[in-house]
């Protein structure tokens, strides 16, 4: 991935966060009542959540690069990703069952779409990224009321979905075509 593509991903992710947070905030206000954030604060929260999502995505990319270098077996690596995903979801379920269910269902849907857009091997890494990255990125909000946790998590899920679905478009993984030379 080039710097230009990473720059594109950063700004588009921040823009998506900026749009998603007020929309999610409006919906949450309709369901739960006043959430305690005006429109300007929701916009700034969206920018911040988008930047946090981008940092989490970059960390995942580095993590993935390092671990695929250490663990050469795709099946073993994907098995470890499933194990960690299960542990994260189990811990999240003990803290906040609604949040765990939201993250699980959203992550399964995104992983399915990622698999359809790429190949069957894309399901587990997408599921791992969506659950692990979103949960880690949402840790600062876990001491807040449920409505604010949901605001952050929904925004992060949308931003992370954008990033994981753009990855295969931004990283050209097609094999290089060899030119036949004529004599």
pLDDT in tens, 29-57: 999 999 989 999 999 999 999 999 999 99
Largest CA distance in the chain: 76
* pLDDT value of position 175: 47
- Compute the half-sphere exposure of residue 88: CA atoms within 13 Å on the CB side of its CA: 23
Cβ atoms of 168 and 118 within 8 Å: the answer is yes
- 105 Cβ contact list (under 8 Å, min separation 6): none
> pLDDT (tens digit, 9 = 90+) per residue, 2-20?
889 989 999 999 999 999 9
Candidates 144, 135, 152; CA nearest to 59 is: 135
Q: How far apart are CA 56 and CA 106, in angstroms?
A: 17
What integer pLDDT is reported at residue 135 of this predicted model? 95
Q: What is the mean pLDDT of the chain?
A: 91
CA atoms within a 13 Å half-sphere pointing along the CA-CB vector of 151? 34
| Residue 146: Cβ within 10 Å count | 13
Tell me, what's the pLDDT at 166? 95
Could you give the CA distance from residue 163 to residue 57 in angstroms, rounded to a whole number? Answer: 7
pLDDT, tens only, 159-181: 999 999 999 888 865 544 444 44
- Nearest alpha-carbon partner for 132 in 104, 112, 158, 110: 104
Q: In whole angstroms, what is the distance from residue 114 CA to residue 106 CA? A: 12
Domain boundaries, the chain: 3-170
Could you tell me the pLDDT band of residue 97, with boundaries at 50, 70 and 90? very high
So what's the pLDDT on residue 178?
41
């Amino acid at each position: 991935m080039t710097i230009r593509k990473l720059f594109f991903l950063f700004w588009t992710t921040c823009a998506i966060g900026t749009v998603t947070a007020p929309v999610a905030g409006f919906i949450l206000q309709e369901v739960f009542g006043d959430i305690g954030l005006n429109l300007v604060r929701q916009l700034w929260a969206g920018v911040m959540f988008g930047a946090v999502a981008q940092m989490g995505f970059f960390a995942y990319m580095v993590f993935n690069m390092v671990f695929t270098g250490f663990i050469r077996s795709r099946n073993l690596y994907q098995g470890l990703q499933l194990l960690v995903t299960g542990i994260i979801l189990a811990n999240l379920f003990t803290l906040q069952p609604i949040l765990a269910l939201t993250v699980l269902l959203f992550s399964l849907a995104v992983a399915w779409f990622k698999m359809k857009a790429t190949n069957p091997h894309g399901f587990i890494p997408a599921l791992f990224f969506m659950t692990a990255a979103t949960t880690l990125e949402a840790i600062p909000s876990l001491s807040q009321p449920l409505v604010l946790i949901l605001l952050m998590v929904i925004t992060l899920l949308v931003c992370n979905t954008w990033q994981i679905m753009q990855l295969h478009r931004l990283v050209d993984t097609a094999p290089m075509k060899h030119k036949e030379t004529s004599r």
